[in-house]
């Protein structure tokens, strides 16, 4: 089944820069950044992910589908050393941190046709997913089960994958882009969105599953976004003890533009509250992809540089 194309050119300069910063900071902090600066104790970056002083470097895609990211372009046993090599590039630059390789696997894929469940979602088979989870356990990888939403709410979408949280290397990610819940259109006609309330509900469901099953490990909830309107409403996003939030700046563009937008989103205030993610597109970031040193803020991009280094980096 053919995957949907992007519905809008990502990273339009006119509205994204300030819009993302304001909307996300208000959602995360429950107030403006100026107000929040007097209320927040700065959280050490080492506490933003389950593993202290860590960085996750993951490859993204749908296994078996070449058009949907690098994970679909190579068989499992061939992609593993490729991801290890990429993680090793970052480990060399960060000798005092733990760099963890990872898979970001599209589990719930938005489709053009409604399918048997009328939700416009095609799930990856459990058998295929477990191959990656077992391989990740063997090689020390993290796994992100990625959920595009279609006609489902985030809470509905997360229910079938909560059981995989029993594996201590498994986490969950939400991609709002193709959500059309409550709309009389198929995915891809509009850019979808979720709310602070949605995020809190998913965190609560994850926390309840961990508590019910006696799971002590902390988990990550990763949220992809590339415009300010992909996370809406003023409901503040709550902190849950066992859930670590990462907002992944998921958009293609020139290195200069990506750095400018990223720095607008991840100020010192917002970076103390939530971990930053940064996505790199092998084929569509033009005129070149950023180097690991540029992504970590060690080297500049022309006259600018990353100010708050991401804690999660994924390649598509």
Domain ranges of the chain: 13-315
pTM for the model stands at 0.85
Of the two residues 178 and 133, the one the predictor is more confident about is 133
**What pLDDT is stored for residue 32 in this prediction?**
33
Report the alpha-carbon distance of residue 94 to residue 178 in Å, rounded: 36
pLDDT in tens, 44-74: 444 678 888 899 999 999 999 998 889 999 9
Mean pLDDT of 158-163: 97
Residues recorded for the chain:
316
Band of residue 193 on the pLDDT scale cut at 50, 70, 90? confident
Instruction: For residue range 212-246, list pLDDT tens digits in order.
Output: 999 999 999 999 988 777 887 767 888 899 999 99
Tell me what pLDDT residue 8 has: 38
Residue 229 pLDDT:
78
Computed over every residue of the chain, the mean pLDDT equals 83
Its CATH class, for the domain covering 13-315, is: alpha beta
Rounded CA-CA distance 285/215 in Å is 39
Please give the residue that has the higher pLDDT: either 267 or 309: 309
Q: Would you state the pLDDT for residue 47?
A: 61
pLDDT at res. 272: 66
pLDDT at residue 122 tops 70: yes
């Amino acid at each position: 089944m053919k995957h949907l194309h992007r519905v809008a050119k990502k990273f339009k300069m006119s509205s994204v820069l300030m819009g993302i910063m304001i909307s996300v900071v208000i959602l995360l902090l429950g107030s403006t950044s100026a107000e929040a600066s007097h209320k927040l104790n700065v959280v050490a970056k080492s506490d933003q992910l389950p593993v202290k002083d860590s960085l996750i470097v993951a490859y993204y895609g749908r296994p078996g589908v070449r058009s949907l990211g690098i994970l679909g372009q190579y068989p499992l046993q061939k992609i593993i050393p490729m991801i290890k090599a990429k993680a090793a590039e970052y480990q060399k630059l960060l000798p005092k941190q733990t760099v963890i390789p990872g898979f970001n696997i599209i589990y719930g894929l938005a489709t053009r046709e409604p399918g048997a469940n009328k939700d416009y979602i095609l799930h990856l088979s459990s058998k295929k997913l477990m191959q990656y989870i077992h391989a990740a356990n063997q090689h020390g990888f993290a796994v992100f089960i990625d959920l595009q939403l279609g006609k489902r709410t985030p809470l509905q979408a997360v229910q079938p994958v909560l059981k995989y949280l029993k594996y201590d290397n498994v986490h969950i990610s939400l991609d709002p882009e193709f959500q059309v819940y409550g709309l009389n259109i198929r995915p891809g006609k509009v850019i979808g969105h979720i709310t602070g309330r949605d995020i809190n509900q998913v965190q609560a469901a994850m926390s309840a599953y961990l508590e019910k099953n006696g799971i002590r490990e902390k988990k990550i909830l990763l949220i992809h976004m590339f415009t300010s309107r992909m996370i809406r409403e003023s409901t503040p996003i709550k902190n849950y003890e066992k859930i670590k939030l990462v907002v992944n700046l998921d958009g293609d563009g020139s290195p200069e533009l990506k750095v400018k937008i990223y720095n607008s989103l991840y100020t010192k205030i917002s970076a103390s509250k939530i971990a930053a993610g940064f996505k790199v597109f092998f084929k569509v970031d033009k005129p070149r992809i950023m180097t690991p040193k540029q992504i970590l803020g060690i080297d500049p991009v022309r006259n600018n540089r990353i100010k708050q280094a991401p804690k999660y980096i994924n390649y598509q």
